Amino acid sequence: MSHKVLVSALYYKANCEKFKWPWQSGFISDQIAKYMHGGHSHEELMFDSSVTGLLFDECFSSSARDGGCRFKSAENVLIHPERWDILPVVCDMPKALEMLKFCKAQEGKRYDFRGILSFILPRTLENPDKWYCSEICDRAKELAGLWPYFYRSHPSESYWTQSFLSKRLICQEHN
């Protein structure tokens, strides 16, 4: 039995192969992916138009480039779809709406630059009013009961976990 995918998790594949200078676009993304020993540097949640009530799919995340938590049309996020890994977040409409409600309440909050430093520092610099990408996306999934919330999760860790959860839940549906 096939279900419509209401929410997807999008993971940006960093290009760590090509050298970049610190002032070049993508330098910070690549450094995050390299330091975390993974291939992903950013995470987004994509809500199907049937969830948002809009005529288009909409993405949510916290982005330093955009100043923090924001919604963007999926068309504007997926300009280069080959640069993204896309996984389903297996859920029903009430859980999708719960995630959307949480994301809307966070819209406009600033990007958590200090939180990112927690990956390399021994102490936490977390701010409850600021978020980085995988932190806000994983928190939305966790509040809807779809995620074993990881403290200080990075995009690659989130990708590995979401990949496992998606496969497990899809297999359960078929049994």
Query: Domain of 48: which CATH number?
Result: 3.90.1720.10
How far is the C-alpha of 93 from the C-alpha of 117, rounded, in Å? 35
In a domain, 32, yes or no: yes
Q: Is residue 49 part of a domain?
A: yes
**For the chain, how big is the Rg over CA atoms in Å?**
16
Per-residue pLDDT for 43 more than 50? yes
What lies within 8 Å, CB to CB, of 3 at 6+ separation is 90, 173
pLDDT at 171: 47
Q: How many residues does the chain have?
A: 175
In the chain, how many domains are there? 1
Mean pLDDT for the chain overall: 82
How does strand 110-111 pair with strand 7-13?
unpaired
* Structural domain includes residue 128: yes
pLDDT of 15-35, one tens digit each?
645 554 444 455 555 556 555
Percent of the chain residues topping a pLDDT of 70: 74
Residue 88 lies inside a defined structural domain of this protein: yes
Give me the domain span that covers residue 105: 7-174
